Amino acid sequence: MIATSYAVPSIIVFVGAAIIIIVGALGVITFKNPVHCALSLIMTLFGVAIAFIAQQADFLAAVQIIVYAGAIVVLFLFVIMFLGVDRTDHVHVEPLVAQRPLAALGVVITLGGLVALMAQSHWVTGVMSASTDGKPLESGTANVHQLGTSVFTTYLFAFEATAALLVIAVVGAVLLARRERTLQADEVEV
Amino acid sequence: MNPLLALSDPLFDHGVTGVIILIVLIKIVVGFGALMNAVILMIWFERKAISDMQSRIGPQRWGPFGLLQTMADGLKLMGKEDLIPAEADRFVFKLAPFLVVIPAFITFAIVPIGGTMHIAGHVVQLQMANPPMGILLMLAMSGISVYGVMLAGWSSGSKYPLLSSVRASAQMISYEAALGMTIVIVILVTGSLTTHDIVLSQGGNILHWNLIRLGLVPFAIFLIAITAELNRPPFDVVEAESELVGGFHTEYSSFRFAIFFLAEFMNTITMSAVMVTLFFGGPAGWVPPVAHLKWIFPILWFLIKTTIFCFCYIWFRAALPRFRYDQLMDLGWKRLIPLSLGWMLIVAGFLISWRWGLLMGSVVIFAWLVLTRAFELGKTRESGPERVLPTIGQRPIPGSVIRKMSEGDS
């Protein structure tokens, strides 16, 4: 039934990408060593990028690799190496009270949301996007052009708000990390 | 057929047949062979040029002018014992060299080394691949090659490589921002991401080259950022011999070390080629009006331009002292990123109209003044809250500490 609506190569690509994603995701939660977990995360991100390319969202795929694999996971690894937490700790004390029940609640909400979404849209592609009234993006021409137009017109407010949020986070992080200390006159670097 | 392929490469316009697969395979094999040979020549060229600049003779024993020295070194390295340190993380230790060398090769795949040819009735672009995401592939691959360096240092289980990998990750991420911003400037005037279009838009005479068209500054930023990204001198704090032994590849020996060595030079060539593509019109140049020579001259132009940049890197290494780590971070964050942002605003303004361009120019000058003042203030005053906020909740205590605490000092 699936084969009637999808060509064989796309199914192979989809299954391959799905296997990469799932194996990577399982690795993230099962490996003992945090560095191995981060590596599995990169594997998952690559799988998602392959899935994006199969859906002709090549710009998203590139950004996925550049931003997530190229910057964010590098920062994770940086912190892991810098703080030397690449040894396994046996956590006897709950760092946050009621962390586990809250996490379970979060999982339930996410799963519920996914099921609710899938009930109303196509089961594989999830096509029901607001910007194109359920139609997929025009195939081929100017992926970036379409994305840019919608980000800077329809979704301008959300885009700018996200940018402002990120700036606030950065400024806040700098403020929290710095300590009050007035340099002496002879300490000033030229 | 995937419409994505047909979008950028005319080779796939009429479906995929056996001949087309053969053409693609030939392109890959020729590209790989050319790059490997170029690496061997580049290593020889660097050693020769550097010894000339330092009044030495350099390699001269093997082959004419010492040309075969690299082959001899490669054979010697292959014959050596392959050591893995006892403290090493074996899987990651073996994986890391490939994470450096594969991105270097993939990046070269998108560089146009010539115009187009007609083979067996098909239009063939003289570049291994022309994906619609184009130059973003280069950014993605430079993001991946960070892992190679980082993981090589970490997995060695030794302190100097670890220090080196921490430096590498911070440095490469810092300069990636400025790098990306200059690429955005190039994309703004080109209106397309593919390298083929970037080169086409710079055709014509020398005034159309992005170097002139964008006003030198983006090229200068790109050159500095890419040198830092390559970890080449003067930005080679990652493998600073006087501080960190050999940096991230201290513990590597035999063929794994050879792979790192290969990757470094491969990256140098690839990035020179990318620079030529982005700012110097790639294969653009004078072509004689003879029908049978039309395809070879663009390749020659490309080779000449790339060789000049390869020489520049060698020149940097011989002439410039190494940056200190904090100077390197200052240059990246306080100079290059604001400058590239400002220049992008100005270029975008001028693309709309000269009025907007001048407005953006004045905005950028104002922002520059504010920034200069802020840096001055920051030099004499470090301000912030009186104390750092207390941590939320209880910190987890490692099992070993708890055991020690319960055993007590009795």
B357 and B220 together in one domain: no
What is the spatial distance between Cα B281 and Cα B175, in angstroms, rounded to a whole number? 24
**Is the CB of residue B385 less than 8 Å away from at least one CB of chain A?**
yes
For the cut 90, the answer to whether the pLDDT of residue A19 exceeds it is yes
- Taking an 8 Å cut-off on Cβ atoms, the answer to whether B147 and A188 are in contact is no
Q: Does B179 touch chain A (CB under 8 A)?
A: no
**How many CB atoms neighbour CB A186 within 10 A?**
5
Per-residue pLDDT tens digits for A28-63 = 988 888 888 888 999 999 999 988 888 777 888 888
Note whether A78 contacts B170, CB cutoff 8 Å: yes
pLDDT digits (tens, 9 = 90+) for B276-332: 888 888 787 777 777 777 778 888 888 888 999 889 999 988 888 888 888 888 888
| Strand pairing category for B122-125 and B381-382 | unpaired
pLDDT at A188: 53
**Nearest chain B residue (CA) to A83:** B166
Contacts of B238 in chain A (CB under 8 A): none
Q: Could you tell me if B219 and B347 lie in one domain?
A: no
Count of CA atoms in the C-beta half-sphere (13 A) of A189: 7
Q: What is the C-alpha to C-alpha distance for residues B363 and B371, in angstroms, rounded to an integer?
A: 12
Q: For residues B135 and B271, what is the distance between their CA atoms, to the nearest angstrom?
A: 12
Q: What value does the mean pLDDT take over residues B71-98? A: 84
Which residue from B minimizes the CA distance to A88? B398
Domain assignment present for B79: yes
In a domain, B401, yes or no: no
CA distance B406 to B401: 9
**Model ipTM value:** 0.76
> Residues with Cβ < 8 Å from A128, sequence gap 6 or more?
A117, A120, A121, A122, A134
Question: Do B230 and B369 belong to one domain?
Answer: no
Q: Could you give the CA distance from residue B21 to residue B32 in angstroms, rounded to a whole number?
A: 16
In terms of domains, do B271 and B353 share one?
Answer: no
Predicted confidence (pLDDT) per residue in B263-279, tens digit: 888 989 999 999 988 88
Residue at A50: amino acid letter: I
- Secondary structure (DSSP) of B136-164: HHHHHHHHHHHHHHHHHHHHTTSHHHHHH
Residues linked to residue B118 through DSSP beta bridges, in sequence order: B123
Distance CA A24, CA A27 (A): 5
Mutate to test the interface with B, among A53, A64, A66 (most CBs of B within 10 A): A66
Report the interhelical angle of B254-279 vs B18-53 (nearest 10°): 100
Burial class (CB in 10 A: 0-12, 13-18, 19+), B145: buried
Q: Which of A11, A37, A81 has the most B C-beta neighbours within 10 Å, making it the best mutation to test the interface with B?
A: A81
- Decide if B393 is inside a domain: no
| pLDDT tens sequence across B175-201 | 888 888 999 998 888 888 888 888 888
Question: Is A62 within 8 Å of B136 when comparing Cβ atoms?
Answer: yes
Q: Report the gap between the CA of B297 and the closest CA in chain A (Å).
A: 32
Residue B392 counted as domain residue: no
Separation CA A40–CA A21 (nearest Å): 9
Whether the pLDDT of residue A131 is over 50: the answer is no
Q: Let me know whether B144 and B113 are in one domain.
A: yes
Rounded CA gap, B339 and B335, in Å? 6
- Contact call for A58 and B383, based on CB within 8 A: no
Number of independent structural domains in chain B:
2
Are B140 and B38 part of one and the same domain?
yes
Same domain, B209 and B299: yes
* Residue A115 to chain B, least CA–CA distance (Å): 30
Q: Do B162 and A92 touch (CB under 8 A)?
A: no
In a domain, B330, yes or no: no
Partners of residue B385 in chain A, C-beta under 8 Å: 175-176, 178-180
- Our CA angle for B256, B46, B39, nearest 5°, is 50
Measured CA to CA, the distance from residue A114 to residue A1 in angstroms comes to 23
Whether B408 is in a domain gets the answer no
B273 and B319 share one domain: yes
CA distance B173 to B167: 10
Contacts of B394 in chain A (CB under 8 A): 93-95
Partner A contacted by B388 (CB < 8 A): yes
Whether residues B307 and B371 share a domain: the answer is no
What is the phi-psi region of residue A84: left when phi exceeds 0, alpha when psi lies from -120 to 50, beta otherwise?
left
On whether both B208 and B188 belong to a single domain, the answer is yes
| Chain mean pLDDT for chain A | 77
> Quick check: B134 and B293 in contact, CB under 8 A?
no
Handedness of CA A143, A147, A148, A149 (dihedral sign): positive
Instruction: Tell me whether B341 touches chain A (CB under 8 Å).
Output: no
B384 in contact with A, Cβ within 8 Å: yes
B395 within domain boundaries = no
Q: Let me know: does B302 contact B114? Beta carbons within 8 Å.
A: yes
State the Cα torsion B42-B43-B48-B49 to the nearest 10°: 50
DSSP class of residue B125 equals: E
For chain A, say whether B401 makes contact (Cβ under 8 Å): no
pLDDT on residue B407: 64
Best of A78, A145, A149, A167 to substitute, by most chain B Cβ atoms within 10 angstroms, is A78
Task: With cut-offs at 50, 70 and 90, classify the pLDDT of residue A190.
Answer: very low
Report the residue of A13, A41, A77 to disrupt the B interface, i.e. the one with the largest count of B CBs within 10 Å.
A77
Q: Is B392 on the interface with A (CB under 8 A)?
A: yes
> Is B255 in the same domain as B352?
no
Cis check: omega of the bond before B3, within 30 degrees of 0: no
As beta bridge partners, residue B382 has A181
Per-residue pLDDT at B405: 62
> In whole numbers, what is the pLDDT of chain B averaged over residues?
81
CB proximity under 8 Å: B 85-114 to A: 89, 92
In the prediction, which pLDDT does A164 show? 94
Structure token digits, residue A30: 């099962």
Scanning every residue of chain B, which has its alpha carbon at the shortest distance from the alpha carbon of A172?
Answer: B384
How close is the nearest chain A Cα to the Cα of B404, in Å? 14
Q: Is B217 on the interface with A (CB under 8 A)?
A: no
According to DSSP, the residues that pair with B117 across neighbouring strands are B124
Rounded distance between C-alpha atoms, residue B82 and residue B253, angstroms: 6
- How wide is the angle at C-alpha B323 spanned by C-alphas B318 and B324, nearest 5°? 145
Name the residue in chain B with its Cα closest to that of A178: B384
Is residue B343 in a domain? yes
Q: How far apart are CA B97 and CA A70, in angstroms?
A: 17
Nearest-neighbour CA in chain A from B215: distance (Å) = 25
Contact residues, chain A, for B135 at CB < 8 Å: none
Same domain, B344 and B315: no
| B396: nearest CB among A58, A89, A144 | A89
Name B336's Cβ contacts closer than 8 Å, sequence gap at least 6.
B175, B178, B221, B224, B225
| Residue A139 with chain B: CB contacts under 8 Å | 3-4
Out of A82, A95, A97, whose CB is closest to B396?
A95
Q: Do A178 and B382 touch (CB under 8 A)?
A: yes
B16 reaches A (C-beta below 8 A): no
Range(s) of the domain holding residue B147: 3-63+71-323
Which pLDDT tens digit goes with each residue over B139-169? 888 888 888 888 888 888 778 888 888 888 8
